[in-house]
Amino acid sequence: MNAMKNLFLIICLSLFTVASQAQEIPAYYKVGVVKGSMQDTKTKVINALKAKNFKIFGSYSPAGNPAYKVICFTRSDIYGITLIGKDQRVLASMQKVALYKTGTGIEVSLLNPEYIFNAYLRDKITPYETKLQKITNDIKDALKTVGTDFTQFGGSMTKKDLRKYHYMMGMPYFDDPVELKTFSSFEEGARIIEKNLAAKKGKTLKVYRLKFEKSKIAVYGVGLLDKEEGEAAFLPKIGATHIAALPYEILLIGNQAIMLHGKYRLALHWPELSMGQFMKISSTPGDIEDMMEALCEE
């Protein structure tokens, strides 16, 4: 009898695991629409996140458009997990909320942490799923003081598909980053990148810096404000309501600067993109790579 019970439990657990893997995870949530100014809404969001002990690392207007705002934030328990591999998984550390001005108010949206955790932590996520779910819940609970809609939008994928995400044959994977520059040391790389960002080289903007001196890892959130080749050029073609996908990042690990390939990162953050839409921004991955490489040059 005990053997039958154990078998039944194993079968139930297996079915639950399969169902969990098959459940679609949305890329974004529309938290709600807030009446009031952009500045008042930004303050409300920041205060809500701080109440759950999240730290704000930066904010900016993508494409230089005052109708857009992105707020970047994290918490030590997030990067306590994402730092483990000392690789590009650390990009899951920074979370993002976007504000988008409409005719009816300020639309507040969230890049779903669960979506990014699964895409970036991939096969390493399993031991941390409970902790990461609590982090996601804390973020959503904080934002419930701003809005309670949490309407899904922008596409969705299963955990299984996110953890091995690949847009299509011939496209890069998460584990195929672009190598931007090899420096003589971590310190030299940080100095050069930070100097160029301070000078706003190539019409870029430093949105945030998340730096771990002991691990010799730094993440730089970079606004791409060039009107011809930056955010103003590609956002109208693929969907500006997805601005919580931004800013793009340079990752410095030891003495090497890398970035996620645009053909991976853009497709992941705009999962409903058709091939026709993707072709309209065919030059964008290369343009972004050029801008990021320039930030790594003395």
Domains delineated in the chain:
25-163 (3.30.310.70), 178-294 (3.30.310)
At 32, list the tokens. 């709600």
Report the distance separating Cα 91 and Cα 7, nearest Å.
41
Q: What is the structure's pLDDT at 38?
A: 98
Q: What is the structure's pLDDT at 170?
A: 84
Q: What is the structure's pLDDT at 19?
A: 42
Report the distance separating Cα 71 and Cα 31, nearest Å.
14
Q: What is the structure's pLDDT at 6?
A: 52
65 phi, psi to nearest 5 deg: -90, 120
Q: What is the structure's pLDDT at 3?
A: 53
CA distances from 18 to 7, 13, 174, 210, 219 (A): 17, 9, 24, 36, 35
Does pTM surpass 0.85? yes
The beta strands (E) that lie in 93-247 are given as 95-102, 105-111, 151-158, 178-182, 204-212, 217-224
Across the chain, which has 298 residues, the per-10-residue mean pLDDT values are 51 44 90 97 98 98 98 98 94 98 97 98 96 98 98 98 92 96 98 98 98 97 98 96 98 98 97 91 97 97
Q: What is the structure's pLDDT at 18?
A: 42
At 295, list the tokens. 């930030």
Q: What is the structure's pLDDT at 22?
A: 73
Q: What is the structure's pLDDT at 85?
A: 87
